[in-house]
């Protein structure tokens, strides 16, 4: 991992913004550095126009370690990134976006998870099975984000998810990966899967 990953985050954010997955100030991206701390987008920044000043470096415990602009506050959803890095210590990047489809599919859930269709794209998320029966965990959306983070920690300490991704109801998707490159890939794959789920419903295809 690049010791300063901010340029990778800026590039990914611009791309996701252009695709409509980080409209306005929606979403947040982070990536780790060698001491275990991570650079995360500052709260409320327009995600199509980030510069290196629009990030805050935060420790795993949530303490601000470096802040290039005194007006910056870490993303309001930093506690979710902390939870992911603590649960999965090899994780180097954690990306959260708000596409329309990522919100829609959280209304097609069974209990606390979304059944994923058995499509080829699952291989990109590490699922290499002939007839995969894979689910993506879905969490309640609380105004108090630390409550979402706590529920993620509690559930994943009991049982690890099948894929490196989670959904928050009517909110968005979060993925994590061992590199910024893989995190970008996982966002693209999950978004493809959500588009597929929405389109399959529209044409009456069920698996």
Per-residue burial over 10-25, b = 16 or more CB atoms within 10 Å of its CB, e = otherwise: bebbeebbeeebbbeb
| Residue 148 beta carbon to ligand L4RZE5RM: minimum distance, rounded to whole angstroms | 10
Helix, strand, coil abundance in the chain, percent, nearest 5: 40, 20, 40
Per-residue burial over 167-195, b = 16 or more CB atoms within 10 Å of its CB, e = otherwise: bbbebbbbbbbebbebbbebbbbbbebbb
Give the nearer residue to ligand L4RZE5RM in terms of CB position, either 76 or 199.
76
Give the nearer residue to Zn ion in terms of CB position, either 137 or 172.
172
Number of residues that bind Zn ion (CB under 5 A): 1
| Residue 5 beta carbon to Zn ion: minimum distance, rounded to whole angstroms | 20
Beta bridge partners of 175: 95, 165
| Residue 77 beta carbon to ligand L4RZE5RM: minimum distance, rounded to whole angstroms | 5
Among Zn ion, ligand L4RZE5RM, none, what binds residue 25 when CB lies within 5 to 8 Å by partner kind?
ligand L4RZE5RM
Among Zn ion, ligand L4RZE5RM, none, what binds residue 43 when CB lies within 5 to 8 Å by partner kind?
ligand L4RZE5RM
Residues contributing to the site for ligand L4RZE5RM (CB under 6 A): 24-28, 41, 43-44, 75-77, 96, 98
Beta bridge partners of 113: 110, 137
Q: In a 3-state reduction of DSSP, which class is residue 96?
A: strand
Q: Which residues here bind Zn ion, judged by CB under 5 A?
A: 172
């Amino acid at each position: 991992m690049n010791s300063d990953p901010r340029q990778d985050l800026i590039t990914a954010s611009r791309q996701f913004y252009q695709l409509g997955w980080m409209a306005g100030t929606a979403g947040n991206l982070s990536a780790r550095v060698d001491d275990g701390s991570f650079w995360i987008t500052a709260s409320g920044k327009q995600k199509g126009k980030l510069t290196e000043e629009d990030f805050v470096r935060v420790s795993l415990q949530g303490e601000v370690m470096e802040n290039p602009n005194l007006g910056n506050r870490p993303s309001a959803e930093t506690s979710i990134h902390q939870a992911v890095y603590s649960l999965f210590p090899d994780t180097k990047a954690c990306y959260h976006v708000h596409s329309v489809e990522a919100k829609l599919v959280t209304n097609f859930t069974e209990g606390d998870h979304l059944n994923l269709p058995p499509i080829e794209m699952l291989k990109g998320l590490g699922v290499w099975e002939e007839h995969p029966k894979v689910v993506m965990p879905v969490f309640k959306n609380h105004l108090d984000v630390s409550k979402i983070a706590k529920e993620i920690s509690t559930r994943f300490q009991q049982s690890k998810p099948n894929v490196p991704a989670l959904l928050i109801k009517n909110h968005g998707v979060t993925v994590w990966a061992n590199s910024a490159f893989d995190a970008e890939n996982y966002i693209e794959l999950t978004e493809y899967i959500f588009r597929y789920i929405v389109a399959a419903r529209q044409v009456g295809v069920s698996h």
